[in-house]
Amino acid sequence: MDKKTKQEDPQEIEIIVNNIPYSLTIGIHPDQVGPSDTLAKTLRETLGLTGTKVGCDQGSCGACTVIMDGLPILSCLTLTIECDGRHITTIEGLQEPKTGKLDPLQQSFIDHTAFQCGFCTPGMIMASRALLDNNPSPKTHEVKEALSGHFCRCISHYHVLDAVLSASKKGG
């Protein structure tokens, strides 16, 4: 295949979001995912998963955090084109799909009133979920460290800390 033909071929990628595979075509047409589109944009505007929030759009606030292959990532700093074959979990993927039952961490945020406006909450919950999946009984300083890049304008941080510790094995 010569260089010209290769450049004209649309590139197909597949991302698995909340256990559902999506085939995406990379290109410049309106129905395609742009080569410079971020994962945050694709999740929200292409797949309609608006639970992922975009605050700063430059890697400073943590609002856009999702889990990719088990680790928390900033979806505003991740290009969709880099996510071929990756497994991504968003806030929409945490509840039990058949019953709609909330993830215990989501319930704990509610029980501890760990939010006010809620804008930062999906990112806080996804980062906390990744922490508990990898470390089910974190110490207080480990929770603080895991959430250190997350900013809440409503000052819910201490309630968040209580919610995460309560949802951990240590908290019962």
Smallest gap from Cβ 7 to ligand FES, in A, equals 31
104 binding ligand FES? (CB under 6 A)? no
Does position 110 bind ligand FES by CB under 6 A? no
Give the alpha-carbon dihedral of 164, 152, 71, 67, to 10 degrees: 100
Bridge partners (DSSP) listed for residue 89: 67
Task: Quote the least distance from Cβ 70 to ligand FES, whole Å.
Answer: 19
The identity of residue 123, as a single letter, is G
| H or E, element range at 3 | helix 3-8
DSSP for 18-75? TTEEEEEEESSSTTSB-TT-BHHHIIIIIS--TTS--SSSSSSS-TTEEEETTEEEEG
Q: What's the min distance (Å) between Cβ of 32 and ligand FES?
A: 23
Regarding 71 and contact with ligand FES (CB under 6 A), the answer is no
Q: How many CB atoms lie within 10 A of CB 47?
A: 19
Is residue 73 near ligand FES by the rule CB under 6 A?
Answer: no
Least distance (Å) between residue 144 CB and ligand FES? 16
Per CB under 6 A, which of residues 44..63 are in contact with ligand FES? 54-57, 59-63
> From the list 16, 51, 119, 133, which residue makes contact with ligand FES (rule: CB under 6 A)?
119
Q: Exposed, middle or buried, 80 (CB in 10 Å: 0-12/13-18/19+)? A: buried
Return the number of the residue (27 or 57) whose C-beta is nearest ligand FES: 57
93 CB burial (10 A radius; 0-12, 13-18, 19+): buried
Closest distance to ligand FES from the beta carbon of 158 (Å): 12
Q: Which x/- pattern over 134-163 shows residues binding ligand FES (rule: CB under 6 A)?
A: ------------------xxx-x-------
Q: Which amino acid is at 63?
A: A
Q: Which residue ranges make up the site for ligand FES (CB under 6 A)?
A: 54-57, 59-64, 74, 76, 115-121, 152-154, 156
